[in-house]
């Protein structure tokens, strides 16, 4: 429990007699006001000196294969290396776990510290993180009309559909849209966009939790937001798991690690594309959520869990490596893929998977969990089987191989809701990059398309 300081500390007076701020107490917006001019100058130099430099060749397989592998997008917060995995402004996941502030009494990265890093490229202080937590809690209540909208949805409407529709409705309060309609300079776009992004991130826990309660626990009242808690501490409490410290800690880690995974994935790219039209962050992120809802993207963790539970039901809770090997071949020989294995970019085990496994290894209750043990044993067998099978470029696990199974163990067992949690997390990266797209003046995204006849003509 904590109450972030509401007062700001000041350094000694400068020579002019004006007060000077300590860097460690500057707000998120003040920090961005210092960082943005440096990035703008860097982009200006790239345009002036290297606009004609070739950075890759486009092949036919790129065009007909979903543009996979084409270097064609600016995304400042993170870079995904096929071998090393994700880095956030140069920091690996283990680096982040060492330096990013945690919640009071907790050990895991929290959304606020990851949000600060993604936006500024800087590691926030404890004081900055706590102040951001307070700001998010103060802005986290939903407008009454959105509460009524959510409550009007039938419980049979998919939670992700409800989430996307509700986020889009919040555009009623868009500060960017209001300012744009009045007429503002392009240099001011980022500031109003930032306000929308912070407001949206602040409201996501209350929005996502209301959907959960309506669908799975109808009639259960929602507690008020606690201004002494961080964003995910409040989210866990709103879901009804506030007393489950282990689940809350896991949600903190899960959401921080899922916050950004460079810009080429479907949800992040959708947010970028829609945002490039100067649509406000609410509309942009609602579109991203509908991309996330696809079974080839955000639904993957629930498919892993279904597959692991089916294996457990058939083989029992105490299975051998040989039994798992046979079950893997049964899955592959039936024409199915092994869920949770392979990745569009990665060619080694996903560092996010490894971080979640370390979380499991550090908690006795998870070490004893039959489903979590099964995930670990599968990891010990599956890569060799997939290599022998020979049809998978990356035979190693991705983050989905374990993420849903831990939620299941801790009592959050409603499969269809898992992607909503993913949606809460992915906002950290997709929305911060909308701020940067406006700050850098990035243009409307408009790639060139070709028909097969035009492509064949071009080849000849």
Residues annotated as catalytic (active site), given as ranges: 297, 343, 400
Identify whether the C-beta of residue 311 lies closer than 8 Å to the C-beta of residue 317: no
**Contacting residues for 351 by C-beta, under 8 A, at least 6 apart:** 84, 85, 86, 92, 93, 94
Residues in the chain: 460
**Euclidean distance between CA atoms 170 and 151, whole angstroms:** 15
Q: Residues with Cβ < 8 Å from 43, sequence gap 6 or more?
A: 440
- In Å, how far are 4, 99, 267, 285 from 134, measured between CA atoms? 6, 21, 28, 23
- State the chain's maximal CA–CA distance in angstroms: 77
Instruction: List the beta bridge partners of residue 117.
Output: none
Among candidate residues 114, 278, 118, the one with its CA nearest the CA of residue 196: 278
- The owner of tokens 């880095």 is 87
At 400, is the secondary structure helix, strand, or coil? helix
Residues 6 or more apart whose Cβ sits within 8 Å of residue 232: 103, 110, 111, 205, 248, 251, 252, 255
Tokens 């995910």, residue? 232
396: left (phi over 0), alpha (psi -120 to 50) or beta: beta
DSSP 3-state percent helix, strand, coil across the chain (nearest 5): 60, 5, 35
Q: The tokens 């995995």 sit on which residue?
A: 85
Of 3, 1, 248, 257, nearest to 130 by C-alpha is 3
């Amino acid at each position: 429990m904590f109450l972030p300081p509401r007062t700001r500390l000041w350094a000694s007076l400068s020579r002019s007699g004006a007060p000077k701020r300590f860097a460690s107490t500057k707000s998120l917006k003040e920090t961005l006001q210092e960082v943005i001019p440096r990035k703008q100058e860097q982009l200006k130099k790239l345009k002036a000196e290297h606009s004609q430099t070739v950075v890759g060749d486009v092949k036919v397989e790129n065009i007909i294969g979903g543009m996979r592998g084409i270097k064609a997008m600016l995304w400042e917060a993170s870079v995904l290396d096929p071998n090393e995995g994700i880095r956030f402004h140069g920091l690996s996941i283990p680096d982040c776990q060492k330096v990013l502030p945690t919640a009071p009494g907790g050990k895991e990265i929290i959304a606020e510290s990851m949000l600060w890093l993604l936006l500024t490229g800087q590691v926030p202080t404890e004081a900055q993180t706590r102040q951001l937590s307070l700001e998010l809690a103060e802005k986290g209540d939903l407008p009454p009309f959105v509460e009524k909208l959510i409550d009007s949805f039938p419980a049979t409407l998919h939670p992700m559909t409800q989430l996307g529709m509700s986020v889009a409705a919040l555009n009623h309060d868009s500060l960017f849209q209001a300012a744009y309609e009045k007429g503002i300079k392009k240099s001011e776009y980022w500031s109003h966009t930032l306000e929308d992004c912070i407001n949206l991130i602040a409201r996501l826990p209350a929005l996502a939790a209301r959907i959960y309660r309506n669908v799975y626990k109808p009639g259960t009242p929602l507690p008020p937001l606690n201004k002494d808690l961080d964003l995910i501490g409040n989210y866990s409490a709103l879901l009804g798991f506030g007393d489950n410290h282990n689940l809350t800690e896991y949600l903190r880690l899960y959401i921080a690690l899922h916050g950004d995974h460079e810009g080429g994935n479907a949800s992040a790219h959708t947010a970028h594309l829609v945002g490039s039209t100067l649509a406000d962050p609410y509309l942009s992120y609602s579109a991203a959520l509908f991309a996330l809802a696809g079974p080839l993207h955000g639904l993957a963790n629930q498919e892993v869990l279904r597959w692991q539970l089916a294996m457990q039901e058939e083989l029992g809770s105490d299975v051998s490596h040989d039994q798992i090997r046979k079950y893997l071949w049964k899955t592959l020989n039936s024409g199915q893929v092994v869920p949770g294995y392979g990745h569009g970019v990665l060619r080694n085990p996903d560092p996010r998977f490894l971080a979640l496994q370390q979380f499991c290894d550090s908690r006795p209750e998870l070490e004893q969990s039959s489903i979590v043990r099964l995930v670990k044993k599968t990891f010990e067998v599956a890569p060799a089987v997939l290599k022998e099978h020979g049809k998978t470029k990356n035979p190693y696990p991705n983050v989905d191989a374990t993420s849903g199974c831990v939620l299941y163990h801790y009592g959050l067992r409603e499969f269809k809701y898992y992607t909503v949690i993913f949606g809460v997390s992915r906002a950290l990266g997709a929305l911060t990059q909308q701020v940067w797209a406006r700050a850098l003046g990035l243009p409307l995204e408009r790639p060139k398309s070709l028909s097969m006849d035009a492509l064949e003509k071009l080849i000849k």
